Amino acid sequence: MPDRVPPVAGPAPDLAGVVERNISALLVRSQREDAERRFQDRLADRVTGFTGSIRFVVLHLVLFGLWALINSGLTPVPPWDPSFVILATVASVEAIFLSTFVLISQNRMQAKADARAELDLQVSLLSEHEITRLITLVQAVARRLDVDEADDPELAELARDVAPERVLEEIETYRNGS
C-alpha cells in the first residue's frame, strides 16, 4: 500500500503545489529509508558521526595529552607506558576500526548516490523524449498555420529522438581518445 504524502508544514505561497508535494514525498521516503536501515548501518553512521566531530578531537587531545604527560614522568602518577608502545597500539587499532566504519558509511552513501544518479538519468531521458515530442507537435501546428520557422533545420534536428546508448558510446569514444 503506498504511503500517503503529508503536506509540507505551513503554506509556501511562492512554491507551486507540485513542488510542495515532491518535497513532502522526498521527506517521507528519506524518513522511511532511515527507519529501515540495518543495525550495522546505524552503528556505522553514529560512529562516523561522532568521530567526525570536534568533541572527538578534543577528547583525543585530552586523553593523548594526559597519557603523554603521565608517561613522560612529569607527574607524580607512576608511568605505565614509558615507551608509548601501548599508546601506539591503541591508536593503530582505533584507526583500523574507524577506517572500517567510515568505509561502511561511504559505501552506503555511494549506493544512495548511485540510485539518485540513475533516477536523474531516467528523468532526463523522459524529459528529453517529452521535449522531442513537443517540438514535433509545435512544428506540426506551425506548419498548419504557415509559420516560416516551422522548417528551421535546427528544430528538425531537435525533433529527432536521442538514443541514450548511442550518447554513452560517443562519450566513451571521447574518453578513450579514439
User: Residue 97 carries which side chain, given as an amino acid letter?
Assistant: F
**pTM of the predicted structure, to 2 decimals:** 0.64
pLDDT tens digit sequence for 21-34: 888 888 898 899 88
Tens-digit pLDDT profile for residues 131-178: 988 988 888 888 888 887 766 778 777 778 777 777 778 888 888 886
Give the containing element (helix H, strand E) for 12: none
135 CB neighbour count, 10 Å cutoff: 16
Residues in the chain: 178
Helices then strands, each counted (H, E), the chain: 6, 0
Quick: pLDDT tens for 90-142: 999 999 999 999 999 999 999 989 988 988 888 888 888 889 889 888 888 88
Asked if 135 contacts 159 with a C-beta cutoff of 8 angstroms, the reply is yes
pLDDT tens readout for residues 59-94: 999 999 999 999 999 999 999 999 999 999 999 999
Residue 159: CB partners within 8 Å, gap ≥ 6? 132, 135, 136, 139
Contact predicate 51/101, CB 8 Å: yes
Reported as a pLDDT band with limits 50, 70 and 90, residue 7 is: low
pLDDT at 142: 84
What is the rounded CA–CA span in Å between residue 67 and residue 165?
60
